[in-house]
Amino acid sequence: MAGYTDLPFRRMCRRFGLHYAHTPLITAGALVYGNPDANQTLYRGDDEPYLAAQLLGSVPADIKKAAAMLSRMHFDAIDFNMGCPVRKVIKTKAGAAMMRYQENALLCLKIIRESTEAPVTVKTRILSENDPEPSVEFCLALQSLGIDAITIHGRLAEKVYSGPVASHIIRAISENLRIPVCANGGVFTAAQALQLANDSACKRIMIARGAIGNPWLFHELVHGQPYLPSHEEVCEIMHEHLDGIRQLYGERKGMILGRKIVQGYLTGRGYRRNLRDQATKISTWGQFREFHSLVLASPPGNNFLNPQITQIAQMNADISSASEIKDQI
């Protein structure tokens, strides 16, 4: 979720029920060598409750310095990412590539554990879609270093975000570890969250891409029923989100970063494609306000249904117990 889960994004999600959240990915090198974007990536609002810093890296010396720096920033936890499948991350032997270099992965994690008194968590992926043993053994090795919890994305690194989530592998990990195991992957609706929780035997579910353009997902998870935002509400939340981005990053950078955020709110809700495409030209706050006025005056009519939200309505009978996991959101 690099480039998404910054303060403005989290504030929109928290409004509808999010409590536990992570910063966007911060590489150890960016933190240690003073990348100017690091402060914005790690910025925490005074109004935020739980927030974990999400650390990425594969160089032990950088990991040690970065972990010590994060420890002094008073985050609620340090989450070490061993699951990012992006090519440029894999090339550095970080993220999901660490599962192929397990000796270095364990060394880096050991360094983090020794560098902070804060809780340390890990996010990783499965190593096989069919055989749980490699994934269980790797996670047991991670647990032995004293981590406090682990999140498992139920897909292979090479599958990125495609294909089914191997919830049975997550279940095997959960049944063999004594620390909390959080299931992740493919959750865009409350029904899918409940299904993953049941299939994986996990009481904790991590939401990622499902929240892009849809902070209302957290309301659905908390209350166990569909939430269909009105056209006016979509426009209101989109405007507030973009205003927060402008304040955090400045006008020019913020509006360029905000283009994909706008697309997230409008895609799949029946808005005309030629209207959505105009978001790619936004570079100033004035241009966004003109675009926002145009969107507000162009409701999608009878097509105002996100396909993912439609799925919730169709499966409403199956998600009545989704509130069982609300305390873990």
Looking at the annotation, which residues are catalytic?
A: 84
Q: Tokens in use for 310?
A: 């439609």
Count of residues making up the chain: 329
CA distance 114 to 280: 45
Nearest to 41 by CA among 71, 3, 72: 3
CA distances from 325 to 134, 182, 226 (A): 28, 12, 15
Neighbours of 319 (CB within 10 A): 21
On whether the CB atoms of residues 54 and 24 are closer than 8 A, the answer is: yes
Write b or e for each residue in 232-253: b if 16 or more Cβ atoms lie within 10 A of its Cβ, otherwise e: eebbebbbebbbbbbebbeeee
Nearest to 256 by CA among 276, 279, 286, 274: 279
CA angle, 326 as apex, 322 and 328 as ends, to 5°?
125
